[in-house]
Amino acid sequence: MPTRSGEAIWKGDLKNGSGTLKVESGIFEAEYNFVSRFETGDKTNPEELIGAAHAACFSMALSNELASAGHDPKSVETTSEVTLSMKESGPEITNIKLISSAHVPGIEKDTFMEIANGAKENCPVSKVLAGATIELDITLNS
């Protein structure tokens, strides 16, 4: 399995500084700053990048688990809401909510939910984020 990388550069202090980040493939590069992370700004932030990665990982994991169990997923669409909270020790990602919809003809709802919860627990990004509460709100469209 390959090792992937991302790169970030930060210049200045926390409140007034800014940075750029990019992924190894070069397909994504963006600016980030204090306002976009701790307030509301027009740049990116680590939490939305984690959210995108988690949504992608879960969608792939669910599709794989469904296919492995003999079900043919037509589509899986997922949004991940990542909550950054201020704790005594500092900022912490405390909660992640995966909001997903899957089109899987012919599957029973109970079977689907069992597979979906397994995918939530076992996708690699969920495993690395296990320190946060991870919720799943999923809809089956058969």
Tokens at 19, concatenated: 């940075």
Q: What is the pLDDT of residues 113-127, one digit of tens each?
A: 999 999 999 999 999
Is residue 42 predicted with pLDDT exceeding 80?
A: yes
pTM: 0.92
pLDDT for residue 1:
82
Percent of the chain with pLDDT over 70: 100
Residue 79 lies in a domain: yes
Asked if 14 and 79 sit in the same domain, the reply is no
Asked if 18 and 50 sit in the same domain, the reply is no
Asked if 56 and 86 sit in the same domain, the reply is yes
How far apart are the C-alpha atoms of 102 and 39, rounded to whole Å? 33
Q: Which of 1, 7, 138 has its CA nearest to residue 73?
A: 138
**Sheet strands side by side (includes 18-23):** 6-11, 18-23, 29-33
Query: How many distinct structural domains can be found in the chain?
Result: 2
Asked if 81 and 137 sit in the same domain, the reply is yes
Asked if 55 and 26 sit in the same domain, the reply is no
Domain boundaries, position 85: 46-141
Residue 1 lies in a domain: no
Asked if 80 and 27 sit in the same domain, the reply is no
Asked if 121 and 69 sit in the same domain, the reply is yes
For CA atoms 90, 136, 125, 29, give the dihedral sign: negative
Asked if 100 and 121 sit in the same domain, the reply is yes
For residue 81, give the CATH number of its domain. Answer: 3.30.300.20
SS3 76: strand
Is residue 142 predicted with pLDDT exceeding 90?
A: no
Tokens at 70, concatenated: 């003999």
